[in-house]
């Protein structure tokens, strides 16, 4: 086998379900990306504005780079059908263990193999979602899929439920053919988004994306977008669920991505009562820790407000005393959505003692809604 095929074979043995090779040349998408950032579509993800020169040219990450070894690892897990209103939804990639840890270990093993096969003189670096690399364009060049209208990379053989990773190296390997676009005239993903996060096909306004709102946004969720979030408390799979190419998605073989106990349609009433220790224990080595407890309980409060269930009112009243203003404010909004005399009286009591200005505004607006 050629070195390229040896690497491909080893990558598959390590659990990577897609492997492709692309030239590490400057990327045409860098101009599009810079314009996307300039339009403000990155929201508060200020780190995306940095290192535009490195994003434009992989050789700035690895001097003398010749090849990008692009890799995909499937993570799909079936979503429980029709969860009841008092249960939350977590994107399927986040129901198991944190993919960063899993993929990085496999990448390290693959790079060790490359060094052994090619000689220690080879230079390279490997990355999992944390470096300034336009990984979707590299992966498209390497034949792993095309940039879909929902901005996910889509493989017509397995859909879009896969993580991306790459090794950039100075080794000159055999390149694969780029993947062509197969979205055609379909607009199901664009039509299904409840918060209208796509100003046009192939462009995402992250500021309106549910996944951005419940993960990356650190402060209050804009009120006009809260109802559109439904029961999603971490991430969102809507634009992938409706994609016809994901009909072929098979459950991931990697056991670390299997849904952990308590993360398939978890009880919102239980989650809103999590203290710091319980939150850390439930989400140990899990992506949900990213927005921290305050951000996550903010999301849970919004989902409870969207539930339409009076059964949620007692738990929300208890959360009105949470130590985090961010949580209290969204709990107040939720009580305003659900209504009832019990909710109204609790909001009045909170207003008498609340000192945080933003929370007071939320409480007053909730009372006005009632």
Residues catalogued as catalytic = 129
- Give the whole-angstrom CA distance, residue 39 versus residue 306: 31
- Provide the β-strand partners of residue 267: 87
Return the residue matching tokens 């986040």: 94
Sign, CA dihedral 128-133-135-139, equals negative
Q: Are the C-beta atoms of residues 143 and 176 closer than 8 Å to each other?
A: yes
* Residues 6 or more apart in contact with residue 293 via CB below 8 angstroms: 274, 276, 279, 280, 324
Tokens of 181: 């676009």
Element (H, E) at 110: helix 99-118
Within 10 angstroms of residue 262's Cβ, the number of other Cβ atoms is 13
Tokens of 151: 């901005």
Return the residue matching tokens 């990697």: 254
Q: Are the C-beta atoms of residues 154 and 148 closer than 8 Å to each other?
A: yes
């Amino acid at each position: 086998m050629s070195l390229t095929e040896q690497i491909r074979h080893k990558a598959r043995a390590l659990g990577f379900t897609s492997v492709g090779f692309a030239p590490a040349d400057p990327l045409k998408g860098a101009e599009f990306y810079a314009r996307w950032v300039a339009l403000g579509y990155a929201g508060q993800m200020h780190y995306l504005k940095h290192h535009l020169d490195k994003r434009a040219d992989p050789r700035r990450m690895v001097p003398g780079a010749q090849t990008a070894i692009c890799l995909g690892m499937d993570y799909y897990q079936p979503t429980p059908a029709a969860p009841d209103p008092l249960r939350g939804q977590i994107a399927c990639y986040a129901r198991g263990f944190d993919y960063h840890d899993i993929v990085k270990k496999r990448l390290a093993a693959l790079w060790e193999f490359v060094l052994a096969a090619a000689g220690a003189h080879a230079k390279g670096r490997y990355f999992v979602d944390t470096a300034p690399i336009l990984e979707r364009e590299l992966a498209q060049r390497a034949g792993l899929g095309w940039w879909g209208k929902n901005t996910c990379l889509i493989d017509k053989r397995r859909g879009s439920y896969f993580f991306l990773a790459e090794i950039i190296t100075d080794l000159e390997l055999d390149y694969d053919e780029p993947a062509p676009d197969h979205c055609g005239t379909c607009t199901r993903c664009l039509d299904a988004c409840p918060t209208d996060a796509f100003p046009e096909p192939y462009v995402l306004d992250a500021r309106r994306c549910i996944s951005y709102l419940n993960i990356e946004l650190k402060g209050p969720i804009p009120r006009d977008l809260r109802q559109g979030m439904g029961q999603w408390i971490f991430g969102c799979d809507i634009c992938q669920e409706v994609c016809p190419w994901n009909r072929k998605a098979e459950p991931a073989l990697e056991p670390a991505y299997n849904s952990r106990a308590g993360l398939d349609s978890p009880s919102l009433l239980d989650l809103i009562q999590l203290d710091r220790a319980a939150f850390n224990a439930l989400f140990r080595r899990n992506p949900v820790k990213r927005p921290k407890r305050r951000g996550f309980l903010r999301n849970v409060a919004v989902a409870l407000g969207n539930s339409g269930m009076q059964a949620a009112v007692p738990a929300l009243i208890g959360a009105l005393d949470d130590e985090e203003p961010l949580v209290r404010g969204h709990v107040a909004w939720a009580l305003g959505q659900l209504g009832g005399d019990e909710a109204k009286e609790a909001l009045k009591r909170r207003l008498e003692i609340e000192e945080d200005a933003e929370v007071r505004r939320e409480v007053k607006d909730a009372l006005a809604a009632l």
